[in-house]
Amino acid sequence: MQTQEMSELKTRLEIGSLVLRASTEFFHEQGFVQMLPVMLGRSTDPLGPDPGSMIIKTPEVEYEGTLLYTMNSMVLHKQVAAKKLGRLFILSPNIRLEKGERKATGKHLFEFTQLDFEMAEAKKEDVMKVVESYFDFLTKELGKHGELFAQLGIEPFSFKTPFRVYTTHELEAKYGKDWEFPASKDHEQPFWALCHKREFYDKEDMREPGHYLNYDLIYPLGFGEALSGAEREYEYSRITERMGRDKLGMERYRAYLEEAKEGFRPSAGAGFGIERLVRFLTRAQHVGDVQMFRRVPGEAIRI
């Protein structure tokens, strides 16, 4: 690695470290309980059916006669945890074995960490408000470290909330089916994209079936998706109906379904990738450029 590349990586990692400190501080201050992550479970996020999802497979581990999966995300565990904790967050390592061709997107990794949070009895507006306050907090905290950003020839990004809100239907009408990249390029501040057909756990709007109570936050300037989340399906009958619609094998979700049968609290939450955030803040070309140990699809692992 060239000396200049090495010093840029060091700066990006230092900014990443500030982001981690600010993030934990913010969520603690907002009354969230920080939980440690799980890495193996009897059920995990199916990540689909989702045209955007291209993982090769979900790794399986047989341990003492039980089949366990590595975490695509902790979304199912968050719902279970919200029963006891109410408001919680996790710095959650996720493994998603993306196809090698996804290296070209600049924003995919096969191993990354998301800050994943869930709020019992919350609606989508509550989550959006927390997220906007979080970005205000980042603006304030990172603004104190102009000298670090100057090493990369940039200034700390100033987030201006509230962010604009669109539906994915509006974005599709304006930018076409693959709206994410052109719409991102066309904006100078992050924006919300509501109502996206996604996994079974994102709540369907029963006042408008076929519409969903979920939200993505999109970074501007071509950096693309920052965060996704939703109000959750929490009733056993709705969950099984949605799983049936998605043709998911129930056996893989038996443990989760047992929890659902006992009863979930209504909740909403979201997760954002730490590396994507640091990529955006440091204007890195590829999200792998902010990792000490690169985990880029299609790239050989050095260590």
Judged by CB under 6 A, which of 16, 41, 271, 288 binds ligand ASN? 271
Judged by CB under 6 A, which of 35, 193, 218, 270 binds ligand ASN? 270
Sheet containing 33-35: order of strands:
33-35, 87-95, 111-120, 267-273, 224-231, 214-219, 191-194, 164-167
Q: Does 194 bind ligand ASN (CB under 6 A)?
A: no
Tell me how many helices (H) and strands (E) the chain has: 9, 11
Q: Does 267 bind ligand ASN (CB under 6 A)?
A: no
**269 or 288: whose CB is closer to ligand ASN?**
269
Cβ atoms of residues 40 and 61 within 8 Å = yes
Residue 36, CA distances (Å) to 214, 237, 243 in order: 25, 30, 28
- Whole-number minimum distance, CB 144 to ligand ASN, in Å? 29
Q: Does 229 bind ligand ASN (CB under 6 A)?
A: yes
Q: Of 59-67, 100-108, 225-233, 243-251, which segment contacts ligand ASN by CB under 6 A?
A: 225-233
d(CA 271, CA 93): 12
- Whole-number minimum distance, CB 37 to ligand ASN, in Å? 12
Q: Does 120 bind ligand ASN (CB under 6 A)?
A: no
Judged by CB under 6 A, which of 116, 132, 225, 233 binds ligand ASN? 116
Which residues is 260 bridged to in the sheet? none
Encode burial over 69-103: b for 16+ CB neighbours within 10 A, e otherwise: bbbbbbbbbbbbbbeebbbbbbbbebbbebeeebb
Site for ligand ASN in 44-63 (CB under 6 A): 45
Judged by CB under 6 A, which of 18, 75, 287, 290 binds ligand ASN? 75
Task: Using CB under 6 A, list all residues that contact ligand ASN.
Answer: 45, 73, 75, 114, 116, 228-230, 269-271
